[in-house]
Structure 1
Amino acid sequence: MDQQILQIETAGRDFVEITAAVQRAVAASDTDVGLCHLFLRHTSASLCITENAAPAVRVDLETWAGELAPDSHSRYRHDDEGPDDMPAHIRSLVAGIELTVPIRDGALLLGTWQGIYVWEHRHDAHRRSVVVTVHGERRAR
Protein backbone atom coordinates (compact mmCIF):
# COMPACT_ATOMS: atom_id res chain seq x y z
CA MET A 1 0.00 0.00 0.00
CA ASP A 2 1.19 3.51 -0.78
CA GLN A 3 -0.25 6.90 0.17
CA GLN A 4 0.36 10.49 -0.92
CA ILE A 5 -1.37 13.78 -0.25
CA LEU A 6 -1.83 16.03 -3.26
CA GLN A 7 -2.14 19.78 -2.70
CA ILE A 8 -4.49 21.24 -5.30
CA GLU A 9 -4.80 24.99 -5.87
CA THR A 10 -8.21 26.17 -7.03
CA ALA A 11 -9.00 29.57 -8.49
CA GLY A 12 -12.56 29.64 -7.17
CA ARG A 13 -15.74 27.94 -8.27
CA ASP A 14 -14.65 25.68 -11.12
CA PHE A 15 -13.20 22.27 -11.93
CA VAL A 16 -9.48 21.44 -11.61
CA GLU A 17 -8.39 18.30 -13.43
CA ILE A 18 -6.09 16.12 -11.32
CA THR A 19 -5.95 12.97 -13.48
CA ALA A 20 -2.25 13.33 -14.32
CA ALA A 21 -1.26 13.96 -10.69
CA VAL A 22 -3.21 10.90 -9.54
CA GLN A 23 -1.64 8.80 -12.31
CA ARG A 24 1.83 9.91 -11.16
CA ALA A 25 0.97 8.74 -7.62
CA VAL A 26 -0.17 5.37 -8.99
CA ALA A 27 3.01 5.02 -11.08
CA ALA A 28 5.19 5.89 -8.07
CA SER A 29 3.54 3.09 -6.07
CA ASP A 30 4.69 0.40 -8.55
CA THR A 31 1.24 -1.16 -8.27
CA ASP A 32 0.36 -3.37 -11.23
CA VAL A 33 -3.25 -4.31 -10.39
CA GLY A 34 -5.36 -2.80 -7.63
CA LEU A 35 -7.41 0.16 -6.53
CA CYS A 36 -6.71 3.86 -6.17
CA HIS A 37 -8.83 5.50 -3.50
CA LEU A 38 -9.13 9.31 -3.40
CA PHE A 39 -10.40 11.26 -0.39
CA LEU A 40 -10.89 15.04 -0.32
CA ARG A 41 -10.27 16.51 3.13
CA HIS A 42 -12.83 19.33 2.82
CA THR A 43 -16.58 19.98 3.13
CA SER A 44 -17.01 22.70 0.52
CA ALA A 45 -15.52 21.04 -2.58
CA SER A 46 -15.97 17.65 -4.24
CA LEU A 47 -14.20 14.96 -6.21
CA CYS A 48 -15.75 13.70 -9.42
CA ILE A 49 -15.08 11.73 -12.55
CA THR A 50 -16.60 13.43 -15.56
CA GLU A 51 -16.17 14.26 -19.23
CA ASN A 52 -12.65 15.54 -19.93
CA ALA A 53 -12.95 16.49 -23.61
CA ALA A 54 -15.93 18.86 -23.79
CA PRO A 55 -15.69 21.82 -21.38
CA ALA A 56 -19.41 22.51 -21.90
CA VAL A 57 -20.17 19.46 -19.74
CA ARG A 58 -18.51 21.09 -16.74
CA VAL A 59 -20.24 24.41 -17.46
CA ASP A 60 -23.59 22.60 -17.53
CA LEU A 61 -22.78 20.76 -14.27
CA GLU A 62 -22.05 24.10 -12.60
CA THR A 63 -25.33 25.51 -13.94
CA TRP A 64 -27.21 22.50 -12.54
CA ALA A 65 -25.47 22.82 -9.15
CA GLY A 66 -26.39 26.52 -9.06
CA GLU A 67 -30.04 25.61 -9.48
CA LEU A 68 -29.80 22.85 -6.88
CA ALA A 69 -28.08 25.01 -4.26
CA PRO A 70 -28.23 28.72 -5.17
CA ASP A 71 -26.08 31.24 -3.33
CA SER A 72 -27.72 33.56 -0.76
CA HIS A 73 -30.96 31.60 -0.51
CA SER A 74 -33.23 32.78 2.31
CA ARG A 75 -33.67 29.23 3.67
CA TYR A 76 -29.98 28.94 4.62
CA ARG A 77 -28.99 29.80 8.18
CA HIS A 78 -25.33 28.87 7.87
CA ASP A 79 -23.44 31.71 6.19
CA ASP A 80 -20.42 32.08 8.47
CA GLU A 81 -18.05 32.44 5.51
CA GLY A 82 -20.39 34.23 3.11
CA PRO A 83 -23.35 33.60 0.84
CA ASP A 84 -21.64 30.65 -0.90
CA ASP A 85 -20.91 28.82 2.38
CA MET A 86 -24.01 26.64 2.80
CA PRO A 87 -24.46 26.04 -0.95
CA ALA A 88 -20.88 24.73 -1.06
CA HIS A 89 -21.66 22.23 1.71
CA ILE A 90 -24.80 21.04 -0.10
CA ARG A 91 -22.92 20.63 -3.38
CA SER A 92 -20.19 18.68 -1.60
CA LEU A 93 -22.70 16.27 -0.09
CA VAL A 94 -24.41 15.68 -3.43
CA ALA A 95 -21.27 15.25 -5.53
CA GLY A 96 -19.19 13.47 -2.87
CA ILE A 97 -15.68 13.64 -1.49
CA GLU A 98 -14.27 10.21 -2.36
CA LEU A 99 -13.68 8.05 -5.41
CA THR A 100 -12.19 4.65 -6.14
CA VAL A 101 -10.62 3.89 -9.53
CA PRO A 102 -9.30 0.49 -10.64
CA ILE A 103 -5.66 0.09 -11.64
CA ARG A 104 -4.40 -2.28 -14.33
CA ASP A 105 -0.89 -2.52 -15.77
CA GLY A 106 0.15 0.31 -13.46
CA ALA A 107 -2.38 2.80 -14.87
CA LEU A 108 -5.75 4.20 -13.88
CA LEU A 109 -8.43 2.23 -15.70
CA LEU A 110 -10.49 5.26 -16.71
CA GLY A 111 -12.72 5.39 -19.75
CA THR A 112 -11.67 7.28 -22.89
CA TRP A 113 -13.47 10.51 -21.99
CA GLN A 114 -13.12 10.36 -18.19
CA GLY A 115 -11.04 12.72 -16.08
CA ILE A 116 -10.70 13.11 -12.32
CA TYR A 117 -11.52 16.57 -10.98
CA VAL A 118 -11.62 18.60 -7.80
CA TRP A 119 -14.84 20.58 -8.09
CA GLU A 120 -14.43 23.78 -6.10
CA HIS A 121 -17.75 25.04 -4.75
CA ARG A 122 -16.53 28.29 -3.16
CA HIS A 123 -16.06 31.55 -5.08
CA ASP A 124 -12.64 32.26 -3.54
CA ALA A 125 -9.44 30.36 -4.32
CA HIS A 126 -8.52 27.54 -1.93
CA ARG A 127 -5.79 24.97 -1.39
CA ARG A 128 -7.40 21.53 -1.26
CA SER A 129 -5.84 18.29 0.01
CA VAL A 130 -6.55 15.00 -1.73
CA VAL A 131 -5.37 11.79 -0.06
CA VAL A 132 -4.39 9.19 -2.67
CA THR A 133 -4.17 5.65 -1.32
CA VAL A 134 -3.08 2.87 -3.67
CA HIS A 135 -3.77 -0.78 -2.79
CA GLY A 136 -2.84 -3.78 -4.86
CA GLU A 137 -0.27 -6.14 -6.25
CA ARG A 138 3.13 -4.63 -6.91
CA ARG A 139 4.98 -5.19 -10.16
CA ALA A 140 7.42 -8.08 -10.19
CA ARG A 141 11.00 -6.87 -9.92
Structure 2
Amino acid sequence: MQKEIILTTKEHNELIDITKEIEKIVSESKVKHGLCNIFAAHATAAILINENYDINLREDIINALNKIIPEHNNYKHNCVDNNAASHIKAAIIGPSETIPIRDKKLLLGTWQSIAFCEFDGPRSNRKVIITITNQKI
Protein backbone atom coordinates (compact mmCIF):
# COMPACT_ATOMS: atom_id res chain seq x y z
CA MET A 1 0.00 0.00 0.00
CA GLN A 2 1.24 3.46 -0.80
CA LYS A 3 -0.01 6.91 0.23
CA GLU A 4 1.27 10.41 -0.17
CA ILE A 5 1.06 13.52 1.98
CA ILE A 6 1.76 17.04 0.75
CA LEU A 7 3.30 19.62 3.07
CA THR A 8 3.80 23.37 2.93
CA THR A 9 6.79 24.68 4.87
CA LYS A 10 7.19 28.15 6.33
CA GLU A 11 10.88 28.43 7.23
CA HIS A 12 14.16 27.96 5.38
CA ASN A 13 15.16 25.25 7.89
CA GLU A 14 12.26 23.56 9.64
CA LEU A 15 11.36 20.25 11.29
CA ILE A 16 7.68 19.34 11.02
CA ASP A 17 6.19 16.55 13.12
CA ILE A 18 4.33 14.18 10.77
CA THR A 19 3.90 11.32 13.25
CA LYS A 20 0.11 11.62 13.60
CA GLU A 21 -0.41 11.61 9.83
CA ILE A 22 1.76 8.50 9.45
CA GLU A 23 0.05 6.73 12.38
CA LYS A 24 -3.34 7.43 10.80
CA ILE A 25 -2.24 5.95 7.47
CA VAL A 26 -0.87 2.86 9.23
CA SER A 27 -4.03 2.35 11.31
CA GLU A 28 -6.24 2.69 8.21
CA SER A 29 -4.16 0.18 6.26
CA LYS A 30 -5.00 -3.50 6.30
CA VAL A 31 -1.46 -4.32 7.43
CA LYS A 32 -1.28 -5.83 10.91
CA HIS A 33 2.45 -6.62 10.91
CA GLY A 34 4.99 -5.20 8.50
CA LEU A 35 7.09 -2.18 7.68
CA CYS A 36 6.35 1.48 7.08
CA ASN A 37 8.78 3.42 4.91
CA ILE A 38 8.57 7.21 4.91
CA PHE A 39 10.35 8.91 1.99
CA ALA A 40 10.92 12.62 1.29
CA ALA A 41 10.79 12.99 -2.49
CA HIS A 42 13.10 16.02 -2.62
CA ALA A 43 16.87 16.57 -2.77
CA THR A 44 16.79 19.31 -0.11
CA ALA A 45 14.51 17.61 2.42
CA ALA A 46 14.87 14.62 4.72
CA ILE A 47 13.05 12.37 7.18
CA LEU A 48 14.25 12.11 10.78
CA ILE A 49 13.23 10.00 13.76
CA ASN A 50 13.98 11.73 17.05
CA GLU A 51 12.32 13.27 20.10
CA ASN A 52 9.61 15.78 19.33
CA TYR A 53 8.20 16.35 22.83
CA ASP A 54 10.57 19.26 23.52
CA ILE A 55 10.25 21.88 20.77
CA ASN A 56 13.68 23.22 21.77
CA LEU A 57 15.32 20.03 20.48
CA ARG A 58 14.08 20.80 16.95
CA GLU A 59 15.77 24.19 17.18
CA ASP A 60 18.92 22.57 18.61
CA ILE A 61 19.10 20.12 15.69
CA ILE A 62 18.72 22.93 13.14
CA ASN A 63 21.29 25.12 14.95
CA ALA A 64 23.80 22.24 15.11
CA LEU A 65 23.37 21.48 11.40
CA ASN A 66 23.77 25.18 10.54
CA LYS A 67 26.97 25.30 12.58
CA ILE A 68 28.42 22.20 10.88
CA ILE A 69 27.12 23.16 7.42
CA PRO A 70 27.01 26.96 7.05
CA GLU A 71 24.76 28.41 4.34
CA HIS A 72 27.65 30.00 2.45
CA ASN A 73 31.01 28.27 2.40
CA ASN A 74 32.23 28.71 -1.18
CA TYR A 75 30.20 25.70 -2.30
CA LYS A 76 30.53 25.11 -6.05
CA HIS A 77 26.82 24.25 -6.37
CA ASN A 78 25.91 27.73 -5.08
CA CYS A 79 26.84 29.06 -8.54
CA VAL A 80 23.84 27.09 -9.84
CA ASP A 81 21.05 27.27 -7.23
CA ASN A 82 22.63 28.86 -4.14
CA ASN A 83 21.37 25.96 -2.00
CA ALA A 84 24.34 23.62 -1.62
CA ALA A 85 24.06 23.65 2.18
CA SER A 86 20.45 22.46 1.86
CA HIS A 87 21.54 19.51 -0.28
CA ILE A 88 24.35 18.60 2.14
CA LYS A 89 22.06 18.69 5.20
CA ALA A 90 19.49 16.50 3.43
CA ALA A 91 22.22 14.06 2.36
CA ILE A 92 23.49 13.71 5.93
CA ILE A 93 20.05 13.18 7.51
CA GLY A 94 18.78 11.02 4.65
CA PRO A 95 15.58 10.87 2.60
CA SER A 96 13.83 8.00 4.37
CA GLU A 97 13.18 6.00 7.52
CA THR A 98 11.65 2.54 7.92
CA ILE A 99 9.67 1.64 11.05
CA PRO A 100 8.33 -1.78 12.04
CA ILE A 101 4.56 -2.20 12.41
CA ARG A 102 3.05 -4.53 14.99
CA ASP A 103 -0.70 -4.87 15.56
CA LYS A 104 -1.34 -1.92 13.20
CA LYS A 105 0.89 0.39 15.28
CA LEU A 106 4.28 1.94 14.56
CA LEU A 107 6.94 0.55 16.89
CA LEU A 108 8.42 3.92 17.81
CA GLY A 109 10.21 4.35 21.13
CA THR A 110 8.60 6.31 23.96
CA TRP A 111 10.09 9.65 22.94
CA GLN A 112 10.45 9.02 19.22
CA SER A 113 8.50 10.83 16.54
CA ILE A 114 8.82 11.33 12.79
CA ALA A 115 9.87 14.69 11.38
CA PHE A 116 9.93 16.06 7.85
CA CYS A 117 13.09 18.16 7.60
CA GLU A 118 12.93 21.18 5.32
CA PHE A 119 16.32 22.63 4.42
CA ASP A 120 15.38 24.85 1.45
CA GLY A 121 12.12 26.51 2.39
CA PRO A 122 9.70 27.97 2.48
CA ARG A 123 8.16 25.63 -0.06
CA SER A 124 4.75 24.34 -1.04
CA ASN A 125 3.94 20.90 -2.40
CA ARG A 126 6.59 19.01 -0.46
CA LYS A 127 5.81 15.36 -1.09
CA VAL A 128 6.21 12.54 1.45
CA ILE A 129 5.58 9.02 0.19
CA ILE A 130 4.51 6.39 2.72
CA THR A 131 4.87 2.74 1.68
CA ILE A 132 3.45 0.04 3.92
CA THR A 133 4.40 -3.57 3.33
CA ASN A 134 2.76 -6.61 4.86
CA GLN A 135 4.66 -9.31 6.73
CA LYS A 136 3.15 -12.74 7.27
CA ILE A 137 3.75 -13.97 10.81
Q: Helix, strand or coil for the counterpart of 1:102?
A: strand
Question: Structure 2 matches for 1:118-133, cutoff 5 A?
Answer: 118-133=116-131
Residues 31 and 132, structure 2, Cα contact 8 Å, conserved in 1: yes
* Alignment deviations for residues 7-55 of structure 1 (CA, whole Å, 9 cap, x no partner): 1221122111110111111112121111001111101011000111111
Gaps of 5+ in 1: none
* Alignment deviations for residues 78-134 of structure 1 (CA, whole Å, 9 cap, x no partner): 12333xx10000001100001000111111111111110101111423321111010
Q: 1:28 to 1:92 in 2, by over 3 A?
A: same
TM-score (norm 1): 0.89
Q: Give the structure 2 partner of residue 10 of structure 1.
A: 9
User: 1:137 Cα shift?
Assistant: 4.5
Q: Give the structure 2 partner of residue 87 of structure 1.
A: 85
Q: Give the structure 1 partner of residue 43 of structure 2.
A: 43
Name which of 95, 101, 109 aligns with 1:111: 109
TM-score (norm 2): 0.91
Question: RMSD of the TM alignment (CA)?
Answer: 1.4
Q: Helix, strand or coil for the counterpart of 1:31?
A: coil
Q: Distance in 2 between matches of 1:101 and 1:48?
A: 11
* Alignment deviations for residues 52-84 of structure 1 (CA, whole Å, 9 cap, x no partner): 11112111111110012101212x0112333xx
Q: Give the structure 1 partner of residue 95 of structure 2.
A: 97
- Moved runs in structure 1, 4+ residues, more than 3 A? none
Identity %: 30
Which amino acid in structure 2 is aligned with residue 11 of structure 1?
A: K
Q: Give the structure 1 partner of residue 70 of structure 2.
A: 70
Q: Distance in 2 between matches of 1:62 and 1:108?
A: 26
